[in-house]
Structure 1
Amino acid sequence: MSEPIHSSLPLRSLVFHFEDMKLHSHSAGSVLAEQITSGYMLLIFKSGSGRLFTDNHSSLFSSYSSFLLPPKTAYQFESLDDNTLEYHTISFHVFCLEKGKPAPYGKPLFPNNPMLRVYPLAQWIDLLGQLHAGNTNFDNIEAFRQQLHFQKLIGFLLEHNLQTDHKAGSTQTVEQTIQYMQNHFQDNITVKQLVQMADVPSWQFTSIFKELTGKKPLDYLTELRINRSKEWLIHTDSPLRDIAERVGFTDEYYFSRRFRLMTGFSPRQYAVSMRQNMLVKDWDGHEVSIPAQPNRILYCGDSVGDLKTLGIELVGSQMMHRDAPFNPEEAASLEPDLIICDQSNEKLYAEISQIAPTLTYNSRGTLEDRLLMLGEWLGKKKEAQQWLLHHNNNALLMWQQLQTLLRPKETASVFVYHRGKRLFVMGNIGLSSVLYHPDGFRPAGKVQDVLKSGRLYKEITEKTLNQYAGDRVFMMLPKSPDSRAAMEELIRSPIWRSLPAVKNGYSYVLDELDWNQEDASSRDKLLSLLPELLNQTS
């Protein structure tokens, strides 16, 4: 558990002045170009989910996730679901009174704390509503009242995100009781005891607890106990009475009743079923019971190269790729006993998992993580380790053989047009993941910031292209006609022709389908394609 943050702000001398509040809306799948804050800005997501990138950090967001960005912060975000993305921006300034004179203040208000605590959520939503309601009225009195609303809002944030004494705030103490329950679930625990430990009113404790866990305290405790009992049921033949006592139930019949309510099985039925299966955790954290030896695996996603590399046989043709949405009737007709889905979409996951046990899989994770996870799931761990060792050795050998063609510390960058006429620079994915090697190319310019922040790609503009272009530039030839037209327009432009790499003859236009895929078999293919390309042009 993180330690409480103690205030180092000179709050007695700070003055907060509200400037503006706006509500923005963008369609599903939007990726906005990077922007820079002028003053302080509160960013509150109203609907949708995705990832927010700020300088060298990234954070997942969902409805009513709230962030405070200091002045001159570069930020960009992308939607990760099919919902419309709506968010508020609240702009304000902070002044520090020095000897009675105001001076602009620009330091982070909540350092190392990008996502703000906004419990209870109902109060936070009410404060936002009050501020937004008066945003279009320019009457002097109303403008003054709006400033008062803003002071309440900023006071709420300061109270919940800064600790000015050594006593942790209400949310932190409730978090401590959750940690206590996780460590002592087998003990006799009452809500009264937890309330006393948190030292907050009973009504407030229950409200905060539910905000943090999504459950009431006793329901959460029961779930902890049932989940722990599953391990005993699978791995031991202990009497049911003993297992119930070990996890905190005094009555084995009550334990059995609660177990059936939560799982749909009696404890013994669950044990028999699970011994024929195995419990694994997928990329999104779902715990799924899958066959120990699945025979009919269906892959739903945009790439199957990782599975084919490990010799995993699939039923049916590739489903749910870019040009074809998921078809539940077709999937069910294949009678799979396991589905692997390359999507992080809970709505879609709920639909697919009705057909067969389903595991989410991130084909854009690191190659090592992906293959080892597949190996763990499907009894191919040894094959995965051997393939990775062989591939890494081949990559090292390739770069050693190419040393005579490279200048010391030579840089490279990869660009692609996607989603119409939108330009992206690639991070550590696709061709870039092969180029950026200790014995290969270095990331160019601001591409280093993209990699540091863990971003797979970043949307940029043609005007900032030179900040990301390396000694060699690789432009992907996209499949989409709109994207291809935008790419062709760029490479005919003075912006492209003025790049040093283009002037020196070190620019490459390559088919995206051959050169910018991420699966294991494509990565292997690049180890043979890249030397041919560089030998032709160096």
Structure 2
Amino acid sequence: MLQDTTSSAPLRSLLFHLSDVELLTRSARQIVEEEAPPCYTLLIFTNGTGRLYIDNQPFLFSPDHCYLLSPGTSLQIENGTDTVVCFYRITFTVIQARDQQQVLYTEDIFPNRYELRVYPLSRLIRLTEQLYAGRLGKGDMEWFKQHLHFQELIGFLLEHNLHSDPSLSLTQSVENTIHYLNHNFMDSITVKQLVQLANVPHWQYTSIFQELTGKKPLDYLTELRINRSKEWLAISNAPLRDIAHRVGFADEYYFNRRFRQTTGVTPRQYAISMRQRVLVKDWTGHEVHIPLQPLRIIYYGETIGDLVTLGIHPIGGNIPNPENRLYKDPTTIIHDVGFPFNTERASALEPDLIIFANSDERQYEQISKIAPTITYNSWATLEERMHILGDWFGKKREAEQWLVHHHNKTKTMWQQLQSSINAGETASVFTYDHGERLFVMGVTGFSTALYHPLGFRPVSKIQDILDAGQGYKEIQESSLPQYAGDRIFMLLPENKISRRAAEDMMNSTLWQSLPAVQSGHVYMAEEAKWNFGDAFTRDKLLEMLPELLQGF
């Protein structure tokens, strides 16, 4: 159990110095013994779940959890799931100024405490992403600004944890067991085991659990199992006994009784009602009978956030960027079906519907053998895509409500930015990909959030790309001035070769000659996080763009 800080670090005498910031991944089903660095280490998880062993003390981690390790602390990361774990690792040193001398400080900043709590989490992630994006700055001034961002992050953590309420530690411990339940509900689990995991007194555990979930632990566990069984019932003719065992019930009789108590119908009655189908016409003209209420959807494309926004959570998809923070709900797990599409992986997920954002008919023929498959134009406008999904899934009202709300938020954002931009200003979005190839973005990705009657406009060359319906276009570096607007947004790729090409270009005479560069109107963001045009990301960009343009 996490303990409250009993004695404060001598904060007035401490100087915090950033060493490095990294974005790391750990593969599925992997156990890694990390090196014990001679400096402080801050871990911020953004994707995946598993166990940490910090100086042999176990912790259950999940997205948005944050841990601080003192110099020399041992660490083991255990990923027992099929999901990739992603996390930021920030290392830093602390210098103590005392008696007119400066010495290296290595004591615990938060004694007897590893896991930290902050609110809002969005600010923690924003500060961390800001640090990561600026890690390649070479100039003294760039490093100075990077250090200011680091001090802001440290201050944020200190503010929320230096004199924290011990009850928060209890809450964190119980939250960890909820995450554990969400991913291990099929196992035999008792309240006694959960109490032991949390290391919280039984009476406190149950009370805190109910405050967090609105349910008693066993009722919550039963609901998880019932919801998972609904998915199996909708797609499988397996005996009730098998389905009951798959989701953690000891026998089908108890399962049948609890299912009826929860839903008002028997499992078989539910299965029959869920197998009703509706005929739809997809992007490329196929007429397909799809489930009226599909539960096990694979979405293969780059706008998975369109579905999430409507409350539709796919079980599988292509995941080019596993640290993308699409999901706040820790119960959501997306299985990677690979790129290109791996039919064996997809079949193993037993989907009842596949959405294929591609017009390749040969691939469609293979994929449609697995489950009913419909093609989807992910390069259509946001409005068109949301209306199509609303029609397909009986969510017309939800789609329209979201669009109205999003349009109002977008208009408000641009109105608030009028003092920061000039009327008629143009903007361009560039990135490197596939090695050293330069691309300008068109009707897809980050650029879709920029072009607005109250916002930026495309230069004529980019307008041609938009008119042609192209998602992007490869250009030569020598053509850059023809595509560069008054504002330039450079999306930094993850690929090392592509990133180096971007850095080299930004150090070139050609780049330095661009008016946007000379006027300081260049903005950088991580391509893997922000170069998407889906509904979820578009909403997040409404928060990110003002910060980027106004230098927050």
- For the aligned pair, the TM-score class normalised by the smaller chain equals 0.3 to 0.5
Structure label with greater radius of gyration: 1
TM-score using structure 1 length: 0.47
